[in-house]
């Protein structure tokens, strides 16, 4: 739990610095969609942020067991990816944009978003694990 809070604090520090130094919200879905859009503002900056994320993943995957390869088969992974991309773009944020940044700004919209995706995610896990008796990503 201590590592969870410490890691969270680093995420909060990153979001704070990105806001103060670059004037931007550290919402990963927004950064990704902006980097993919040919007319997006600050496309290079967003790509640099994404590169930093991947670099952290390379380092931790190389020297620790904290970044395991996905164990779910490719087809359900792809379907889940479609849902995550479609949904975050539709609602304008994900766990970082609505969760970390939005809640820190006391945004009611973000609170509604977070409660909604937590609820449907918990229901989905319940259906997959306890009703369909599939192990899920295990």
Partner 1 sequence: MKALLTALGCGLLFGVGLCVSGMTNPLNIIAFLDVGGRWSPNLAGVMLGAIAVHFGWLRWSAERKQTSHDSILAPSRRPIDGRLVGGSALFGIGWGVSGYCPGPAIVALGSGAVGALVFVMAMAAGMKLSEGVQWTIERSSKPSLSRR
List Cα–Cα distances, 60 to 36, 56, 66, 107, in angstroms.
26, 6, 6, 33
With 0-12 / 13-18 / 19 or more C-beta atoms within 10 angstroms meaning exposed / middle / buried, residue 97 is buried
Site for partner 1 in 104-123 (CB under 8 A): 104-105, 107-109, 112-114, 116-123
Residue among 111, 89, 85 nearest 100 (CA): 111
Size of the site for partner 1 (CB under 8 A): 109
Report the nearest approach of partner 1 to the CB of residue 24 (Å).
6
Report the nearest approach of partner 1 to the CB of residue 26 (Å).
6
Q: Choose which of 38, 39, 40, 69 interacts with partner 1 (CB under 8 A).
A: 69
Site for partner 1 in 71-90 (CB under 8 A): 71-72, 74, 76-90
Q: Choose which of 20, 39, 40, 132 interacts with partner 1 (CB under 8 A).
A: 20
Report the nearest approach of partner 1 to the CB of residue 118 (Å).
7
Site for partner 1 contains 44 (CB under 8 A): yes
Site for partner 1 contains 9 (CB under 8 A): yes
CA 72 to CA 53: how far, in whole Å? 22
Site for partner 1 contains 132 (CB under 8 A): no
Who's near 91: CB < 8 A, 6+ residues apart?
A: 98, 113, 117
Site for partner 1 contains 43 (CB under 8 A): no
């Amino acid at each position: 739990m201590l590592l969870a809070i410490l890691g969270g604090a680093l995420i909060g520090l990153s979001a704070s610095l990105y806001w103060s130094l670059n004037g931007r919200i550290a919402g990963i879905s927004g950064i990704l969609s902006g980097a993919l859009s040919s007319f997006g503002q600050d496309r290079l900056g967003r790509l640099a942020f994404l590169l930093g994320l991947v670099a952290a993943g390379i380092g931790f995957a190389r020297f620790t067991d904290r970044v395991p390869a996905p164990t779910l088969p490719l087809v359900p992974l792809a379907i889940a990816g479609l849902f995550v991309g479609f949904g975050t773009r539709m609602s304008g944020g994900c766990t970082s944009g609505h969760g970390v940044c939005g809640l820190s700004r006391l945004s009611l919209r973000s609170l509604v978003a977070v409660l909604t995706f937590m609820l449907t995610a918990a229901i989905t896990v319940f259906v997959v694990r306890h009703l369909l008796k599939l192990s899920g990503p295990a």
